[in-house]
Amino acid sequence: MKRSSCLPMAARALVAGAAAACALAAPARAQGPAPANPADAQFMSGMLMHHAQAVVMGDWAPGHGAGKAVALLCRRIAISQRDEIKTMATWLTQHRLPVPDTNVVMGDTLPGAPQPMLMQGMLTGDQLVALRAAHGPAFDRLFLKDMIYHHEGAVVMVDQLLKAPGGAQDPLVYELANEISAGQLVEIHRMQALLATLPPAPR
């Protein structure tokens, strides 16, 4: 009987030890995430703006007579990139970094007006005005050309991040960057194939 009573005591000692370890670890968790690497911070902030513009472009499809295939592509882009925008905004907030104001990419910039700083592949205000004015097959063609260019810019941004000193050492940033690059490369090929099926622009 005395030997069996040692088992509960050992279990209690193990639990007490685990509790003590958790108590020691708690202050470290309370301190929050480590300071963000500058390359990671620049990427997350810039890509959030990049994605926001793509969502704006895609949201125009229903009101501009987009074809069925282009309209479906726009919905897919909007859904995936809105989710990634939320992830990037949360990461920036957790690292006590400012979340960019996406209003500057909403397509309301007038031709010739001062342009906000644009990330690789982002459209200028004049380009957005041209896309917004297009309808039907003309919208489809211009959207695909613009979005291919837009996606290629995002892939370049990921490549720059991965080459930057200390870039993408944060697991979430690394995973997100690679998902963005892989997904947008697939969509680039899909859009190129779709563009090839459209009738040429009238002369």
Question: Among positive and negative, which fits the CA dihedral 103, 146, 123, 125?
Answer: negative
DSSP string, 143-185: HHHHHHHHHHHHHHHHHHHHHSTTTT-SHHHHHHHHHHHHHHH
Show the tokens assigned to 178.
């690679």
Q: For residue range 146-189, what is the model confidence (pLDDT) as tens digits?
A: 999 999 999 999 999 999 999 999 999 999 999 999 999 999 99
pTM > 0.85: yes or no? no
Least confident interval from 14-18, 59-63, 103-107, 137-141: 14-18
Say which DSSP state 35 is in.
P
Q: Which residue has the higher pLDDT, 201 or 78?
A: 78
- Kindly give, in sequence order, each residue whose CB lies less than 8 Å from that of residue 175, ignoring residues fewer than 6 positions away: none
